[in-house]
Amino acid sequence: MFAMLRLLVLSFLFPSAVLHAAQEAPVQDPPAPVAAQEPQEHPMAREAREQRALMEVLLADKKTKLKSYVSKKARLRVHSDFKSSRGPKEALKATEEVLQAMLWGLGAHDASEEKTWLRDDHPMELYLIDDEELYFRIIDLLSEHSAIYRPYLQSCKQGTGFTLYPAQLSVYFHNVKVQAEARLDHSIAHNAAHLELHRRYGFTPLPIAEAIACAAEELALGEIWANWYRDGFVYAVSHDGWRGSDTQLALKKHGLDDYWAYPAKPYDDAMAHLGFAWAIYALEAEPQALHRLLRAIQTEYDAHPEQGGLYRISPEHLAELVDEAFGPELQARVRDYWKKVPKAPKISKLRS
């Protein structure tokens, strides 16, 4: 206030001096505009983009004899080196039907609820491989450019394929040395159910994901052939008998808490039927509760980003999340639902 008054007095007595001082005062340049920073790419998104680019190079190599089959109904492509187009086309159709079952059970996909790094318009990429040499080449190609996935991928040389969730990529190798029997269409479609679950909700504990994938496979195709980690010969009756006495017996002998503690690897038939019973009930009778559970699980994984899909929710905490999503007496409701074997619903039209 005093400085302002002094300036007014000086300007009245010595106007030229004040004007001269004002003219010589340093002029400050306006602050430079801050350049907008490009959003950093999530490491998993970068890894997924690089993996897809590698597979595109492989597809362009005519020596692989890979042919592509594009779905007109869903965001997916099937690539296969099988000489006949029958198997790949059947796999494409089965996958479309399983994805329809997922849509029927889980509702329309709300992309606004996804993690930012998961938003991707790239189609699901499914590979159906017959030649062992090509299968090993795919593994070595991806392993060479990904130290994180290398141990996992190399271990898959002894199995029937692998699934890379962020890249929305699944490779199925028709390895008759490992599986005494298999259905190409079911195997690819089952893997697609896992990918679709991840696209919607991110990483999910294996027993939860496997139960839902089996339920979607049965809802769409009427049978279950493609349980993960189930090897050896299986009697044909077991494939179409999941809506039957074996599932009812598993519910009588075991509680759902047993299933939350089930690692799903190695495969256990009674536990698989128990998980199937819960997943069918959840998809058919309480889809909103299932949605709440999967969102809660996603929140758990989001809280541990440094571990990605390696994070493990304890069985006790998983049971708490289930109780919060479904409310009390879930086991009683599931058992009551299965007292009489539930008929398979029509999934061609979405529920309101």
Sketch out the chain's domains with CATH numbers.
44-202 (3.40.30.160), 203-352 (no CATH)
pLDDT at 309: 75
Predicted pLDDT of residue 154? 96
Answer yes or no: is pLDDT of 186 > 70.
yes
Q: What is the mean pLDDT of residues 153-177?
A: 91
Give the full edge-to-edge strand order of the sheet including 169-173.
Answer: 67-70, 76-80, 124-129, 169-173, 161-164
pLDDT score at 75? 87
Q: Is 96 exposed, middle or buried (0-12, 13-18, 19+ CB in 10 A)?
A: middle
User: Is 192 in contact with 95 (CB distance < 8 Å)?
Assistant: yes
Q: Which helix (H) or strand (E) holds 303?
A: none
- pLDDT at residue 311 in the model: 86
Strand, helix or coil for residue 161: strand
**What is the arithmetic mean of pLDDT over 159-187?**
86
Would you say residue 9 has pLDDT above 50? Answer: no
pLDDT given for residue 19 in this prediction: 36
CA angle centred on 215, ends 212 and 219, rounded to 5°? 140
pLDDT in tens, 31-42: 555 555 556 777
2 near 10, Cβ under 8 Å? no
Question: Residues 229-254: what's their mean pLDDT?
Answer: 73
pLDDT digits (tens, 9 = 90+) for 72-121: 888 899 999 999 999 999 999 999 999 999 999 999 876 656 555 555 56
pLDDT of residue 36: 54
Please say if the pLDDT value at position 211 is more than 80: yes
Mean pLDDT of the residues in the chain:
85
Which pLDDT band holds residue 18 (cuts at 50, 70, 90)? Answer: very low
- The larger pLDDT score, comparing residue 147 to residue 277, is at 277
CA atoms of 208 and 264, how far apart (whole Å): 9
Average pLDDT over residues 336-350: 94
Residues 6+ apart with CB under 8 A from 346: none
